[in-house]
Chains A and B, each alone.
Chain A
Amino acid sequence: MKPFAFARPGDVAEAVRTVAAEPAAVFLGGGTNLVDLLKLGVARPDRVVDVRRLTSREITDTDDGGLRIGAAVTNSELAADPRVRERWPVLAQALLAGATGQLRNLATVGGNPLQRTRCVYFTDVSTPCNKREPGSGCSAVGGYTRYHAVLGVPAALPDASAPETCIATHPSDMAVALAVLDARVQVLGPGGARTIPFAELHRLPGDDPSRDTVLEHGELVTAIDLPPLPAGARSAYRKVRDRASYAFALVSVAAVVAGGEVRLALGGVAHRPWRATRAEEVLRGGPPTADAVRGAMAAELAAAQPQPGIDGGNGFKIPLVTRTVVATVRDLTSGVPA
């Protein structure tokens, strides 16, 4: 591991100034992803700025009937909060579907959405990766693609040697729930505070796969705001993985059904948590029967690009995510506990 200086500033403003002043400085939250990336040589900061004891560890009620979740609240604490369990079960379920007890006790709400992809080529410094080493190419194209994206990738087979190619997926379960819940991210940066709609926090690879989010260097997530769901809303998170516990999603679905409205976000299919706005649009104005949901997902996935791979590729995700959405909406609309 490359040596680094360690700092624990007195407050968040000083922490932001410290990171902003140094291009190779990073924030440290719970550390469950960053410390591993330090060991792997993927993250090579000169300075690590510890913010875990600086940001809020409180979950407070907001005037609009929602919650403000401090960035230092752990995944465990958020999943166990009685308000979240009762009113935003999709979020509690997403948190509990991720990692393990001893990881969730360390992981923080501020850090979780900013964790990096688990693409095996990203974490292996001996292979080219545009996200880790911009311009070096993408080893995932034509490689092991089981955990890779089918949405938000170019229509043609991506060029493995092009500097913009990246078919990585975002690994967070919590982020998929926050996307469907229209959460807002409170950010403090060197230029002041701003609020980012959660669905706009993460980006597609575009021409710079090294950037996962729209955050500028030195910007710190200080809290996440959860707006209330409409009265009578039901919500659920469903995750499909290669083993029953402690594995990243092949696909996942966060769904909210409220009155005549269905909201959907998908995990494991794209570079960012994927809000299925096209499917939501198709479902507007009619009952979400299994056929209607299947049709809506066909519209959502019309532009999907299954990736071939030496492991058989990831085309299975198209029917799998469709069936998972159908089952999740069925459970939410039929009175069966999700």
Chain B
Amino acid sequence: MRRTGPAPAVGRMCAIWFATPGRGGTCGAMAPDGVHAEISLTVDGEDHRLTVDTRTTLLDALRERLGNASPKKGCDHGQCGACTVLLDGDRALSCLALAVAHDGAEVTTADGLAAGGLHPVQQAFLDRDAFQCGYCTPGQVCSAVGLLEEVRRGWPSHVTEDLTARPELTHDEVAERMSGNLCRCGAYAHIVPAVQQAGGVQA
């Protein structure tokens, strides 16, 4: 476990308070100022303990405090999907998650997916030329990894004809399930086959 900075001035004071023996041992503990809390996050396999302003989103905690610039800030309002990470195993928007509310969470970013060599989804994005500028790609990749797990579990989507049947990775299913990830370069035509390839579909 390592402490990660830098923290803003008030945050540093709180960090001193939390470091005082007998205090702040419990993650999620509030600082005396009432608007800072100490939390723990496991990000891409590494444990972190940090003091955050209660307003800090998970996205800002990752990018600004932990130096993980893999999730991107696009709209910051949950509309573009660039900030998508795997939160306790499921894809989620880190811009709409308060870091303090996810104390103790396990977060995997696109960076972490490549820890042991490229993830099959990342390789498929390369094979299929599924990006241009790349800004949305880490979010697309995390979303696709989450999507494949949801399909593996048999979760239906809006376009699944028979709600009680196992969904298949058709073009329409992938397009619907990836609809929360915008790509302003318009690489969609290659993203769908990339996701299908990673999901084992011969396309």
Q: A interface vs B, CB < 8 Å? A: 1, 3-8, 28, 31-32, 35-36, 38-40, 48, 50, 52, 76, 79-80, 82, 85-86, 89, 92-93, 96-97, 99-103, 105-106, 244-246, 337
Give Cα A48–Cα B35 distance, bound, in whole angstroms.
10
Top 9 A-B pairs, shortest CB-CB distance: A100-B180, A245-B179, A5-B34, A6-B54, A85-B163, A80-B155, A96-B158, A105-B90, A246-B179
A292 to chain B, nearest CB (A): 28
**Partner pick for A28 among B77, B81, B93, B101, CB 8 A cutoff:** B101
B138-162 interface bits toward A, Cβ cutoff 8 Å, 1 = contact, 0 = none? 0000010011001001111110111
With contacts A101-B146, A105-B91, A245-B176 known, is A52 near B162, CB below 8 A? no
Give Cα A48–Cα B96 distance, bound, in whole angstroms.
14
List chain B residues, Cβ under 8 A from A1.
Answer: 55
B145 to chain A, nearest CB (A): 11
CB–CB B81/A89 < 8 A: no
CB–CB B101/A92 < 8 A: no
Most A CB contacts (10 A, CB to CB) among B30, B57, B92, B95 go to B92
Is B202 an interface residue when CB atoms closer than 8 A count as contact?
A: no
Is B37 an interface residue when CB atoms closer than 8 A count as contact?
A: yes
CB–CB A80/B156 < 8 A: yes
Is B177 an interface residue when CB atoms closer than 8 A count as contact?
A: yes
Q: B interface vs A, CB < 8 Å? A: 28, 30, 34-35, 37, 53-55, 57, 76-78, 81, 84, 87, 90-93, 95-98, 100-101, 143, 146-147, 150, 153-158, 160-164, 175-177, 179-180
CB–CB B30/A50 < 8 A: no
**Partner pick for A4 among B28, B55, B81, B147, CB 8 A cutoff:** B55
**Partner pick for A103 among B76, B93, B162, B177, CB 8 A cutoff:** B93
List chain A residues, Cβ under 8 A from B76.
Answer: 39
CB–CB B91/A102 < 8 A: yes
CB–CB B156/A96 < 8 A: yes
List chain A residues, Cβ under 8 A from B91.
Answer: 101-102, 105
CB–CB A48/B78 < 8 A: no
CB–CB B35/A38 < 8 A: no
Give Cα A40–Cα B95 distance, bound, in whole angstroms.
13
**Partner pick for A85 among B34, B98, B158, B164, CB 8 A cutoff:** B164
In the complex formed, the residue of A with least CB distance to B76 is A39
Give Cα A76–Cα B101 distance, bound, in whole angstroms.
19
CB–CB B96/A36 < 8 A: yes
**Partner pick for B179 among A76, A85, A100, CB 8 A cutoff:** A100
List chain A residues, Cβ under 8 A from B30.
Answer: 5-7
CB–CB A5/B54 < 8 A: yes
CB–CB A80/B147 < 8 A: no
